[in-house]
Amino acid sequence: MWHEFDPFLPLQHLNRTYNSSVALVLMNSFNTDEDTQKVIRKYQGLNVKLYTFNQSRYPRINKESLMPIGRTMGTDTDLEAWYPPGHGDFYEAFSNSGLLQEFINQVTSRDCAVGREARSTCSCYTYVQGKEQVFMLHVCSCYTCVQGKEYVFMLHGKEYVFISNIDNLGATVDLNILNFLVGEEAQQQPPCEFLMEVTDKTRADVKGGTLIKYDNKLRLLEIAQVPKDHLEDFKSVKTFKIFNTNNLWIKLDAMARVVQNQSLDMEVIINHKTLDNGLNIIQLEQAVGAAVKSFNGAH
């Protein structure tokens, strides 16, 4: 709820602490856009840039006939016939909005310096989708310390996107991870283009996604993909010990590459629902973390 969580507070804190310019980017659906536009008006006086874009809308499918249930293309009279296809739609929607390329085009160069006073700084964009929150991070003409080494960055654009599930309101930008990505990890081959934050799985998290390795690549495994006779194995905190927090760091130029090359390889999750009128329908959805296997050097 907006009155319980002010997304501008961490952005203003980053602005003050690191003398940075922090903006908020909101990804809405056709269900949330109108209400969001009303709420954000009260923030127009703040010194925080604000962008919005809408994710896609997909037709709900009749489970028996396997045909779309809608009779028109509009949502005004046929709202129940459409749905937002999950946070996995972020990549395509963000690219289609033009914001992805806009941020990438601002990136210039990076140089190193030694013997300077080191300090960490960043400029961040935040994206909220009802279930998603994204920070677009970059380091501008500043110094940052990575394991005792000092680097100076001349990045006038954005290099990484940090995505955090809004269910996890305690999620914050960890500059140690950013230092890892732009420091020593950037020298590795291939460099890390995708990093997923995970934590120890507890009995409160048994339904959440986890990571597996298949064909020598990391993959996200969601409970909806698990056969019924293996559900207890999936829920076991001894068998699967880590839990996907949906905090993701992704290199923007890599995201543009996989979108443009149509090489995003993400499993489709079949979500069965029953509408208020009793009609059984199917929704085809994707999880944002499922793209982990589409990127080089994923962690």
Task: Say if residue 45's pLDDT is above 80.
Answer: no
Write the pLDDT tens digit of every residue in 223-262: 888 888 888 888 888 888 888 888 999 999 999 999 999 9
Query: For the chain, how many structural domains are there in total?
Result: 1
State in Å, rounded, how far the first CA of the chain is from the last one.
32
The model's confidence at residue 73, banded by pLDDT at 50, 70 and 90, is: confident
Q: How far apart, in whole angstroms, are the C-alpha atoms of residue 190 and residue 193? A: 8
Residue whose entry in the numeric block shows the structure tokens 């934590």? 199
Residue 136 lies in a domain: yes
Q: Which residue stretches of the chain are H helix?
A: 8-18, 33-39, 90-96, 99-104, 175-182, 231-235, 252-260
Give the pLDDT score at 59. Answer: 94
Give the pLDDT score at 197. Answer: 92
Write the pLDDT tens digit of every residue in 168-216: 767 777 888 988 898 866 677 788 999 999 988 888 888 888 888 888 8
Give the pLDDT score at 202. Answer: 84
Residue whose entry in the numeric block shows the structure tokens 């989708």? 129
Nearest to 58 by CA among 273, 276, 290: 273
Average pLDDT for the chain: 77
Please give the single-letter amino acid code of residue 210: T
Task: Say if residue 16's pLDDT is above 80.
Answer: yes
Q: How far apart, in whole angstroms, are the C-alpha atoms of residue 243 and residue 50? A: 32
Task: Say if residue 68's pLDDT is above 50.
Answer: yes
Task: Say if residue 142's pLDDT is above 70.
Answer: no
What is the share, in percent, of the chain residues with pLDDT greater than 70? 77
Residue whose entry in the numeric block shows the structure tokens 């080494």? 149
Residue 299 lies in a domain: no
Residue 2 lies in a domain: no
Domain enclosing residue 122, as ranges = 8-294
Residue 277 lies in a domain: yes
Residue 3 lies in a domain: no
User: Is there a contact between 158 and 226 (Cβ–Cβ < 8 Å)?
Assistant: no
DSSP symbols for 185-196: GGGSSSPP-EEE
DSSP symbols for 157-223: S--EEEEEETT-TT----HHHHHHHHTGGGGSSSPP-EEEEEEE--GGGTTS-EEEEETTEEEEE-G
Looking up residue 67, the CATH number of its domain turns out to be 3.90.550.10
Nearest to 125 by CA among 259, 257, 252: 252
